[in-house]
Each structure stands twice: as structure tokens, then as C-alpha cells.
Amino acid sequence: MSGSSQRETTQLAASVLSAAAFGLMSAGCGLERANGIAMGTTYSIQADCPKSLPHVRVDAELARIDALMSTYDRDSELSRFNRGATGVALPVSPELVDVVGAAFVVSEQTRGAFDATVAPLVALWGFGADAAPGAPGDKEVAQALRSVDYRRIAHNREPPTLEKLRPATLDLSGIAKGFAVDRLAGLLDDARCPAYLIEFGGEIKARASAPGGGPWRVGVESPSGPDYAKTLLLGTDALATSGDYRQYRETDGVRVSHVIDPRTGYPVRHHLASVTVVTDTAMMADAYATAMLVMGEVEARRFAGEMDLAALFIVRANGGFEMFHSQAMVPYLERG
């Protein structure tokens, strides 16, 4: 650990990376709005609902998910699992198993670029609920890296349990917000709202089937400023952005990203500034966006092509930014 000054730069909430969501639906359509704070970040909802927007149920649902998956809440199911013994199958909620299962699928698909057992590294690099102070040495990184491997954990659906096969710690921050957005979408579907746009900490789920309704317009933030780098058009789609410029800290003037490469143990440092993914569920979009940020430009562009994933990449180049997108992103790009 260096004795030099260390600044927490933007650990604050609201990674509203892609939230300039608006447009659509002719004026006077009577969209209701709801805003709030949950899980250390903000949410905003615009919805056209036959009755009123179920505000109370939205807050209750987010609180419920937090109580399952938060690492800041020491009593959450996830925290209890993390503290628990190795070799014991702990009964947990089916939803926790679903999210862990989805995280592990993405780990396999990305050959470990996304790995929810990255927790010890996240803490070591100064992020999350158990953030260590200062920058770690190579030995500490190597030591922490030894317990990072999603195959150390077994998950079972019937009955729902999680088991550490070998010591490991889970951090679902790279996927849980997306899951929460999908759950809120489920609430609005149940309330028969024909159109809505939900944004929670930069993850988005939209639905649009109202008569006269066009697509939602969602701005993808430019890493350099308040303007939008690109506008995407969403119908019934989900979107997530992962960027290296919102949440990071600075140590000795070096920017340390909160996204860590579980294959090396070090925070990502390359020219890829952000990745935006559009797919069916916010949960998968969230995980893929994080995974591709880890991969870096070359590997991520290849991955998006192979997986036929709609992805938009903003890359630092020559003091500015360049944008690239995969073939599958084409239908979502606003023309002009």
C-alpha cells in the first residue's frame, strides 16, 4: 500500500450510463413517472398503466432483491452464503440460484471474463462492501486470484441450494441490477401496462406495444461529457452499459476500474471505454456488458460477432473516442 494520497473519485451511486431515455409515445399519452433510490443507486420508471403505477410494489420488490443479493447487507442470503462453511449445501431462495446460474452460464460463454467469484479481487482493489485501502501488491493479487473460479460453487435448483465446493466468495453486482430491472418489468407486465421504460443504475428494460407508440429513444452516454454518443431505439428490449469512466478510483494518479479481469486479477486497463448491449433480458445484458468490458475491444468485438449479440463499443482513440457496433446492433441504431 502506498502512503500517497488516494482519492475516491466516483464511488457514488447513479451510474446512469444510458438513461436519457425518452421519446416515443405521442404527447398526451399520459405516461406516469416514478423515481427512487435502491441498492445504492437510482431508478426511474415511465409507464402507461391502466390503473396507477404500482409504486409501493416497486419499492418492496427492490428491497426484497436487496435482501437476497446485497453484499452490503450482512444479513442478505448472499452474505450468509459468503460467510458459510465449505462443503455444506445452503438452502437459499430460488431466485438467488437463478441469478447465480445465469452468472455461471455467462462465465462459461466468456471463458471466465465474467466471474461472480471475483469478490476477493474487488475488495482487494478497493471496491464494494469490504473494500481494502490502498493498492495491493502482486503477491496479494496472486493470493486472491487462487479462490476466483466459478467452478468452486455448485448451484442446485431442486431444492434451491448453493454450495462452496472449495472456499469462494460471490459478488453479484455485475448482474443483480439487471435481474432487478427484469423483475420490475414483470411487475408492470402483471399490472398490464402496455408500455414502459424502466431504468435502474444504467440498466434498462422497455416495453412498447401501445397504439401509436414508436420505439423508446435511449441515449448512450459519451464518456467525455454530458452529451450522448449515440441514440438507440428500443421496443420490447433490454439494454445495459458497462463503462470504465463512472466508477473508479485514483491511486497515484492511476485510474483503477471497478471491473476486474478474473483471469489476471487486475482491473481492466485498455482502450475500451464502454460497452452497451441490447438483448431480451436486462440480467443477461448486464452480465454481457461487464464481460465485454473485461475482454477489451478486440476480444469483445469477436465475441459479439460469434454470439450474434447487439453491442455498441466506445473506444478511446487519438485523444477522442471512436464507436463500433456489431451487426446485430444495426436495427437499434437511430439513423441520421
Asked if 261 touches Mg ion (CB under 5 A), the answer is no
Distance, in Å, from the CA atom of 33 to the CA atom of 30, rounded to the nearest integer, reads 9
Radius of gyration of the chain (CA): 20
Identify which range of 38-46, 162-170, 214-222, 282-290 contacts Mg ion by CB under 5 A: 282-290
Backbone angles phi, psi at 113, to 5 degrees: -65, -35
Distance, in Å, from the CA atom of 294 to the CA atom of 269, rounded to the nearest integer, reads 9
Identify which range of 28-36, 115-123, 311-319, 328-336 contacts ligand ADP by CB under 6 A: 115-123
Distance, in Å, from the CA atom of 276 to the CA atom of 135, rounded to the nearest integer, reads 29
CB of 271 to ligand ADP, least distance (A): 17
Across the beta sheet with 228-234, what order do the strands follow?
22-23, 216-221, 228-234
CB of 176 to Mg ion, least distance (A): 9
Asked if 127 touches ligand ADP (CB under 6 A), the answer is yes
CB of 211 to ligand ADP, least distance (A): 34
DSSP at 284: H
- Reading the block at residue 56, the C-alpha cell is 409501493
Q: Which residue is nearest to ligand ADP (CB)?
A: 174
Distance, in Å, from the CA atom of 116 to the CA atom of 248, rounded to the nearest integer, reads 19
CB of 281 to Mg ion, least distance (A): 12
Nearer residue to ligand ADP within complex by CB, 78 or 122:
122
Nearer residue to ligand ADP within complex by CB, 54 or 174:
174
Structural contact between residues 36 and 42, judged by C-beta atoms closer than 8 angstroms: yes
DSSP 3-state assignment of 271?
coil
CB of 242 to ligand ADP, least distance (A): 4
CB of 24 to ligand ADP, least distance (A): 24
Asked if 15 touches ligand ADP (CB under 6 A), the answer is yes
| Burial (0-12, 13-18, 19+ Cβ within 10 Å), 33 | exposed
| Burial (0-12, 13-18, 19+ Cβ within 10 Å), 138 | exposed
CB of 200 to ligand ADP, least distance (A): 10
From residue 244 to residue 283, the character string flagging contacts with ligand ADP as x (rule: CB under 6 A) and all else as - is --xx----------xxx-x---------------------
DSSP 3-state assignment of 9?
coil
- Reading the block at residue 213, the C-alpha cell is 407508440
Asked if 82 touches ligand ADP (CB under 6 A), the answer is no
What, of Mg ion, ligand ADP, none, does residue 270 touch, CB below 5 to 8 Å by kind? Answer: none
Asked if 202 touches ligand ADP (CB under 6 A), the answer is yes
Where along the sequence are the contacts to ligand ADP (CB under 6 A)? 15, 114-116, 118, 122, 127-128, 171, 173-174, 201-202, 242, 246-247, 258-260, 262, 286, 290, 294
